[in-house]
Amino acid sequence: MALRRVTIQDVADACGLSRNTVSKVFNGRGAVQDSNRQLVLKTAQELGYFQLAFGKETQPELSLKNIALLTRHMPVDDHFGTSLIPAFAAQLGRAGYTLMMYELSDEELRQGALPAHVNPEQTAAILGIELFDRAYLEKICALKLPILLVDGCCGAATTLMPCDWISMENLASTRALVEHLIGKGARRIGFIGDPYHCNSFHERWIGFYSALANAELPLDKTLCILYPDTAPYGDAGWLAERLRRIPQLPDALICVNDFIAIRVMTALKQLGVAIPEQIMVTGFDGTAQSAAIEPSLTTVQIPGAEIGRIAADMLLNRIANPCRPPISVYAKTTPIWRESTNRK
């Protein structure tokens, strides 16, 4: 952790950007190039800005004014968390709180332990993001601190956990994707991604097969790639090999997120398969990359910054009202129709 208080200007100077651009990133408002946004977040973390000064450049250290963000993997690149975290932290900063971010080690996860620098007695609340281990979540809930989870383990939406929970809406938007593909003539539709990795992935899987059932189309798992999330989904060559094993490629593929969808499109191009003429592809997240790839990717937009602001309000309300029953919130998502499904 840095020994001096880091300012917005320090981050701007280190990035070679204007203070105004850095402020836009931290506030989650205004247009900023994705590459610059990623640079600002990475530099801020390296300098210790989030830990020391987010939203309060002159604020002294205050006990019980720290919010601990716990994660297995700090969101980067095309994860909606890269817009959620700055908006969340800025909202907390205006209320006088400081965001402290911690990436859990394998050992901490196995032991169910908090990171060494997290002092529960000086922590007002905990935000969990990219935390999908049920046993670990149960242990941190036992701390009796105000806790808010963003997404969660598979089945989190139907699990009686003593904490608040927020997620993007998944079912209706995935059903809309499938219905759109069916309207474009698709009858054999596959799914790519681990349906049990997290709650949002599982809900997208449920939306997928329920839409098929509603259209009286079969769920054919031979058209799907459903390996555990530990499989190398980021490797287009690995995906191409799995696609080769499908005797007859489907008319369309529902990918569990944009990251996988973009790699699937690369794999299909390696196989000489035309998109969307021979196969249509969809993603989920609404990342900048989804608009930049050729052909542009049909996806579902997650309002990451708005979820961040809602999450901050939820956690502040929980701090003020610790005896209130736990609540769950879904933020609406929006399908974006692009060229990857624009079959004539």
Dihedral pair phi/psi, residue 5, rounded to 5°: -70, 125
**For residue 244, what pLDDT is reported?**
96
Please determine, for residue 210, whether its predicted confidence score (pLDDT) is greater than 50. Answer: yes
Res. 30: pLDDT tops 90: no
Residues in CB range of 16: below 8 A, 6 or more apart: none
Domain 8-168+304-331 has CATH 3.40.50.2300: yes
Band of pLDDT at residue 157, cut at 50, 70 and 90: confident
Q: Residue 227 pLDDT > 70, yes or no?
A: yes
Task: Indicate whether 129 pLDDT > 50.
Answer: yes
Identify the pLDDT of residue 62.
39
Q: How confident is the model at residue 344 (pLDDT cuts 50, 70, 90)?
A: confident
Instruction: Tell me the percentage of the chain whose pLDDT exceeds 90.
Output: 65
The 10s digit of each residue's pLDDT in 247-282 is 999 999 999 999 999 999 999 999 999 999 999 999
pLDDT band at 27 (very low <50, low <70, confident <90, very high): low
Q: What is the pLDDT of residue 332?
A: 97
- Please list, in sequence order, all residues whose beta carbon lies within 8 angstroms of the beta carbon of residue 48, skipping any fewer than 6 positions away: 1, 2, 6
pLDDT at 4 over 60: no
- Residue range 276-318, pLDDT digits in tens: 999 999 999 999 999 999 999 999 999 999 999 999 999 999 9
pLDDT bin (cut points 50, 70, 90) of residue 43 is confident
Domain layout of the chain by residue ranges: 8-168+304-331, 171-301+335-341
Residue 37's pLDDT band (boundaries 50, 70, 90)?
confident
Residue 56 has pLDDT above 50, yes or no: no
Rounded distance, CA 261 to CA 338, Å? 13
Enter the pTM of the model.
0.82
The mean pLDDT of 56-79, rounded to a whole number, is 68
Residue that wins the pLDDT comparison between 24 and 6 = 24
Share the mean pLDDT of the chain: 88
Give yes or no for residue 167 having a pLDDT over 50.
Answer: yes
The reply to whether 8-168+304-331 and 171-301+335-341 are identical in fold is yes
Q: At what angle are helices 171-183 and 199-214 packed, to 10 degrees? A: 40
Say yes or no to pLDDT of 67 above 70: yes
pLDDT given for residue 12 in this prediction: 83
Positive/negative CA dihedral, 160, 316, 129, 117 = negative
Residue written as token pair 């450049």: 57
Query: HSE of 264 in the Cβ direction (CA atoms, 13 Å)?
Result: 29
Alpha-carbon distance values, 200 to 98, 193, 266 (Å): 28, 12, 24
Whether the per-residue pLDDT at 208 is higher than 90: the answer is yes
Q: What's the CATH class of domain 171-301+335-341?
A: alpha beta
Query: Would you say how long the chain is, in residues?
Result: 344
Return the beta strands (E) in 146-298 as ranges: 147-150, 164-168, 189-192, 252-255, 280-282
